[in-house]
A and B are shown apart, each in its own frame.
Chain A
C-alpha cells in the first residue's frame, strides 16, 4: 500500500508540475455544488458568490461549476476534472465532500481547495463556515415578539450540530422576549424536498404554529405560510417573492465577500490554509429587510441585537442557560466556546422532544 501511495504522489506531482507549466494569465476558479443552482437556497447562494467573483475580477478570472454532484466518488471525479482542467482554486460546498476534497488535494498539491462546513484541513485545504446561529438569534428575537399563538414551527433537516445550534439559538432569543413561547420541531431528513417541506409546514401550522422557521433549502414552506396567512422567515436566500406578506425577514447566506477575498489571495500568492467561521460582522451572514408588519419598536430592538452581535457585545449563547435535562451549561454571563458549538448535540432547557438519534 505504501508503495502505491508513493507512486501515486509521484504521478500527481508530475501532473501538478505539468499543470503549472501551462501557467495561464487567468485565475481559474472551480465550484462544486451539491444541489441545483435553482434551489433558491444553499447552492443558489454559492452560485451567487461565484457570480460575484466573476463580476469583481472580470477578465482576470474564469469560473466553472458543476451542480448536483453527489457526494463520494462522483465528487472526487469532478474535483479531479477541474484540477486537470487547470483550476487554481476549487470551492467544494458541502460537508459530504470532505474526504474527496482531502483525497484530491493530496494529488494536486498546487491547487488550493476551500471546503465548506467541514473540519479536515491540509496545507492546500482551507475550511470555512458561517455562524448562521447569529442569524437565528435575530429572527428568533423577532419571532418571539410576533407570535400570537406562542408556537413557532421549525422544519429541521438532519440532527447535526449546525441544525441543533440553529434551533437552540432561535429558541433562546425567542424565549428571552417571550417566556411562554414554544417550539415545535419536525425533522424532514432531507435538505431539499419541496413537497415534504410543504407538508411539514402544513402539519406545523395545523398544530398551532403561526410562524415557520426552516433549516431546509426550498421556498416551499414560505409559499405554504403565504397561502395560509402565517408568517415565515426566508432561509439562505431572501425568498420575498414566495411570501410577499408572509416573509418577516430572512437569513441570507452571502459568500461573495469570502470568495472574492480568497480568489484575491490566490492571485496575490498570499493564500494560506485557514479555518474561517464568520458571522454577521464579516458579512457572511446577512439579515433580510424587515417586513412592514413588524412594529417599529421590534424592528429597532432586532437591529440593536444585530449590532450587538456584530460588535461582540452580545453572543448568541450567553448564560445562564441550562441543558434540556436541567444540568447547567452556561453560567450567568458565560458564553459558549466554539468547540462546544461545533459539536452541539443537545437541546437547551425548555425545548420539548428529544434530539433524534
Chain B
C-alpha cells in the first residue's frame, strides 16, 4: 500500500518541482478536457500558455499580463502574512471595493482640480478605505471572538451593495445621462492611472506592486514581524510565550491585507477599469487567495503565481475568440491548476512509500 512518511526537512527539490508538476498535470488533464469539447488539445494549450508570452501578438499580451497580474499580486502579498499566521481574510474582495470607492470618491470630490496631490491622496484614501473595512472583522474577532472568515465574507456583499448605492446615487456622473457609473477617470487627468509606457501595460499600480514584492520579501525573511508571523502560524503557543500578542497580530495582519487590497482597488479603478461601475469588481479578491496559496505564501512565489494566473486569463480570452471555447473552460482549468498544486504539494513535506501489506 502507498503510505505517506513525513520527511525530516521539507524537500528543496520538491519545492521547485511541484509547481512544474502541477502545471504539467493541468496541461494533460486540460488537454483531455479540450478533446471532449471537440478541440485540438495542443492548439488550445499552446494558446493558453505560449501565445500570451511568445506568440504573434505577444508584444501586446505581455503588457496585459502585467495589468492582470498586478492587483492579484498586490492583494496576495497582503493576504500572505495573515495566512501564515492563521488569520484568514477571505473578504479581500470587499476591501478592494471599499478602497476603490473611498479613494475614487475622494478624487471625484476634488474634480476638476488639476494638482499633482490628487492621485497620491487617492491612493492613501484607497488604502485607508480597505484598511478600515478589514478592521471590522479584526475588531469583531478581537473583542467578540467572531470568526473572521465569515465576517469578512459577509462584508464583501455589504461592500458590493454599497458600491451599487454609491454609483447609482452620490457618485453618479452628472454628465453621464443617468447611467449608474461615476465620471470616467480618463476625463480627469490628475486622477488618472494611465499606462506609463505605451504597450507595456505598466501603470503606477504595477510599479507599486513591484515595490511591495521587495518590501514583503525583506519583511518576511529579515524583519522581526515576518518572523513573528511565521512563528504564530507554526507554533502559536511558543509565539505567545515569545511575547507576540495575538490581538496585535490579528489587527496588523488584517489591516495590512485590507490596506493592500484597498490600494489595488484604487489603482484598478483609476486605471484599467477607468471608472466606478456596478461591475468593476472582477473577483480579484478571491483569485488572490488562490495566488497566495499557489505562491506558497512567499513573495517570490506569489509573483510567479500571479503571473501564471494572469497568463491563464489572457490565454483564456484567446481560446474563446479563436477556438470558440466557452469561458467556463478556463475557469475549470484554473480550478484544476489549484487542485493539482495542492495535491502534489504533499510531496514537499512527505515522502511516498510503497510497502507490502502487513498482515494483521
Contact = CB atoms under 8 A, between A and B. Distances in A.
Interface of A: 1, 4, 7-8, 11, 30, 36, 64-74, 76-78, 80-82, 84-85, 95-96, 99-100, 119, 158-161, 164, 189, 342-345, 356-357
B120 interface: no
A1 B190 CA distance: 12
A165 B55 CA distance: 47
B168 A81 contact: no
24 contacts: A1-B189, A4-B195, A4-B197, A8-B198, A30-B321, A65-B321, A65-B324, A66-B320, A66-B327, A69-B317, A70-B280, A71-B277, A72-B277, A72-B282, A73-B273, A74-B282, A74-B317, A77-B317, A81-B321, A85-B321, A96-B279, A160-B178, A345-B178, A357-B172
A175 B86 CA distance: 62
A189 B278 contact: yes
Nearest to A31: B321
B67 A66 contact: no
Contacts of B56: 84
A160 B199 CA distance: 35
Contacts, number: 102
Nearest to A9: B198
A77 B64 contact: yes
Interface string B167-195: 01100100001111100101001000011
Interface of B: 56-57, 60, 64, 67-68, 164, 168-169, 172, 177-181, 184, 186, 189, 194-195, 197-199, 271-275, 277-280, 282, 314, 317-318, 320-322, 324, 326-327
Q: Which 10 A-B pairs have the closest CB atoms?
A: A73-B272, A72-B273, A8-B198, A84-B57, A66-B320, A345-B178, A66-B321, A64-B321, A158-B180, A68-B327
A69 B316 CA distance: 11
B279, B326, B327, most chain A CB atoms within 10 A:
B279
A76 B60 CA distance: 12
Given A158-B278, A189-B278, A344-B178, 13 more contacts: A1-B189, A4-B195, A64-B322, A66-B320, A70-B279, A71-B273, A71-B280, A72-B272, A72-B280, A77-B64, A77-B314, A80-B60, A189-B164
A158 B189 CA distance: 29
Contacts of B279: 70-72, 96
B43 to A, nearest CB: 15
B186 A99 contact: yes
B140 to A, nearest CB: 28
Given A4-B197, A95-B179, A96-B279, A66 B317 contact: yes
A161 B178 contact: yes
B169 A357 contact: yes
Contacts of B320: 66-67
Contact of A158 (B60, B68, B168, B273): B168
A119 B177 CA distance: 9
Contact of B178 (A36, A66, A159): A159
Contacts of A119: 177
